[in-house]
Chain A
Amino acid sequence: MSDSTAVLTGGRVSGRVGALAAARRFRLGGGSAYLYLLPSLVFLALFTFYPIGFSAYLSLFRWNVLNPEKVFVGLENYLHLWQEPLFWLVLRNNLFYALGTIPMTMALGLFLAVLVNQKLGAARNIYRVALFYPTMVPMVAAAMLWVWIFNPGIGLFNYYTAFLGIPRIEWLYDRYWALPAIIIMSIWKNFGYFMLIYLAALQGIPAELHEAASIEGAGAWRRFWRITFPLLMPATLFVFVVAIISSFQVFDQVFVMTQGGPADQTNVLTFYIYQHAFRFWDIGMGATLTTIFICLLLVLIVLVFRYVGRRVYYEAD
């Protein structure tokens, strides 16, 4: 029995074995457990699980401005989307956005975390703040700011990249460069958080491991790939899952910077659903897209845990 027990019981310890058993029994009889969960479960049911079922149900109906009365149409909405080129373009844009942001934010986060984790004295704090502060900027504000930076005529971006020999680009007005522009600003906004996650994980790696490897003659490069990187796998898995989920949430940037344009080249799932629901008033189609979105997310996450997750425990054990 620990000291804390004696403190809490004020030294009253007589007959404690019997009382303890009673206490355990009281605690384990969990009738009240459900009561404690009730507040959370009510909100979870109403705003996470009911919506899943509700949108799956609505996806089977034609329900829009022209058909204000719901008409059951089976899988017609899904078939329609299958044949809709814009739907595939939207999925492609989501994929490009994910491929453009996820590897880069993860690599930058890891690289900078390794650098910041060195003995840097007082400057370290300045670096951490300067690299992390974009997380504190609301995405809408960041998007507005970058619209200004990407201004083709007098924007900062074209001005400074000219020194690197990069020709002037119309960025948000160019059908090929609008999505990359959004990707660039999203990387700026997001990598700092991943850097902090990696930094926390790095601090959990015992210094003796590196010292031992150094004595054995392993250089910094080898030590990183043989010791640091494998031990960071749980953090990498966490960051990867967060990055996937947040890459599908991309909306604010698109809404402020391009409204999906030019020519739908930056239209993404959330914005596409938003258009159907609140611009075209086509609830049936919006619900169909919502259902597809949720399935996509769940499938992706299951895949990540099956294939990456398994490796993590191998290497971390």
Chain B
Amino acid sequence: MRTWIRRPRLDRLATHLVLALVCLVTVTPYLWLLSTSLKFPKEVFTPTPQWIPWPVNLGNYAEVFDRAPFGVFLVNTVIVVTGILAVQLVTITLAGYVFARRRFRGAGLLFGLFLVQMMIPIHATFLPNFLTLQSLDLLNTRVAMMLPFFASGYGTFLLRQAFRQIPRDLEDAAVIDGCGGLRFLWHVLVPLARPTLVAFALISLVSHWNDYLWPLIVTDTPDVRTLTIGLGMFVQQESGADWTLLMAATAFVTAPLMVIFLVFQRKFIESFMFSGLKG
């Protein structure tokens, strides 16, 4: 132990080494994905892995677009995730405000209901929810992919914590000036809670961009399907045939989020970092 403390430089070097090694392992799969997606089919079957695709074959991406409407899938995904987020921001702001600032009968019990939602994911309740949407005649629509997520126990919880940290005096003062209720919420609390709202927005966008099970069971036709479902269908349709094509489709499905993540990495990492602890 002693020597460990006395040699901080060596210790730091060891840390760098271990981290670099682990990072190499975690990055390898994605690099392999990109590499394969840029190869010609014949080049895949080599006894040792060829990391640099040469000659580069961009044709795989074009062919993927020819064989399945990935452009439509992309548009649908954007519609679904932004639709979910837009409604969520309204519902969680209102609910978070009430739980942070109002005292009323049954507040504890009602808040408990919001917490239960965090514990029972759609993966448990997809069958009864499917039957509900069937009886509402909403199957195979984009709305069907959004509806179950319009309320968010998790978002409500995050905003409640954020609103609580804003001084009460502010609200007293605002009410005296006739700026109570919704106007106060909109003009004072929401701007002050912006970092939390941004964090929630990023988390919501990422998790619904990646949704699979629910969109899978409520959609039937390509015109409403999202990227993840499109990829799943593409894989079945092209099964076992050509790894370069499959990897190009996979790379395309991951690309939009990956690019946005790399550009705004600081914001993303901050948001996910504090997603667990602001309570």
Contacts and interface: CB of A to CB of B under 8 A. Distances in A.
Contacts of A133: 26-27, 30, 258, 261
Contacts of A290: 124-125, 127-128
A79 interface: no
Interface string B143-176: 0000110111100100000000001011111111
A47 B273 CA distance: 29
A37 to B, nearest CB: 5
Interface string A135-160: 11111111011101100001010010
The listed residue with most B CB atoms (<10 A of its CB), out of A156, A159, A192, is: A156
A287 interface: yes
Contacts of A119: 12
A145 B247 contact: yes
A136 B172 contact: no
Interface residues of B, number: 109
Interface residues of A, number: 111
B32 A256 contact: no
B32 A37 contact: no
Interface string A169-192: 000000000000000000010001
A277 B127 contact: yes
A307 interface: no
A141 to B, nearest CB: 5
Contact of B273 (A37, A137, A146, A199): A199
B114 A44 contact: yes
A270 interface: yes
Interface in B1-29: 1-2, 4-5, 12, 15-16, 18-20, 22-23, 26-29
A261 interface: no
A274 B217 contact: yes
B221 interface: no
Interface string A13-52: 0001001100110111010111011011111101111111
B276 A140 contact: no
Interface string B122-140: 1111111111100000000
A255 B125 CA distance: 18
B124 A200 contact: no
Contacts of B169: 1-2, 4-5
Nearest to A194: B276
A8 B23 contact: no
A42 B68 CA distance: 37
Interface string A258-298: 00000000000010011001100001001100100110011
Contacts of B27: 130, 133
B127 A9 contact: no
A154 B235 contact: no
Interface string A57-70: 01000000000000
Given A47-B148, A137-B30, A252-B213, A40 B91 contact: yes
A287 B127 contact: yes
Contact of B94 (A5, A37, A47): A37
Contacts of B122: 47
A197 interface: yes
B186 interface: no
Interface in A218-236: 219-222, 234-235
Contact of A255 (B174, B176, B212, B269): B212
Contacts of B60: none
Contacts of B170: 2, 4-5, 8
A200 B151 CA distance: 27
8 contacts: A55-B127, A137-B257, A140-B232, A144-B231, A200-B277, A274-B213, A287-B127, A298-B120
Interface of B: 1-2, 4-5, 12, 15-16, 18-20, 22-23, 26-30, 32-33, 36, 44-46, 48-49, 90-92, 94-95, 97-98, 101-105, 107, 110, 113-114, 116-117, 119-132, 147-148, 150-153, 156, 167, 169-177, 180-181, 188, 206, 209-210, 212-213, 216-217, 227-228, 231-232, 235, 243, 246-247, 250, 253-254, 257-258, 261-262, 265-266, 268-269, 272-277
Given A47-B122, A50-B128, 13 more contacts: A23-B171, A39-B91, A40-B94, A40-B95, A40-B151, A44-B113, A141-B228, A145-B29, A220-B4, A234-B277, A238-B276, A249-B123, A270-B213
Interface of A: 1-2, 4-5, 8-10, 12, 16, 19-20, 23-24, 26-28, 30, 32-34, 36-37, 39-44, 46-52, 54-55, 58, 112, 115-116, 118-120, 123, 125-142, 144-146, 148-149, 154, 156, 159, 188, 192-193, 196-197, 199-201, 204, 214, 219-222, 234-235, 238-239, 242, 245, 248-249, 251-252, 255-256, 270, 273-274, 277-278, 283, 286-287, 290, 293-294, 297-298, 301
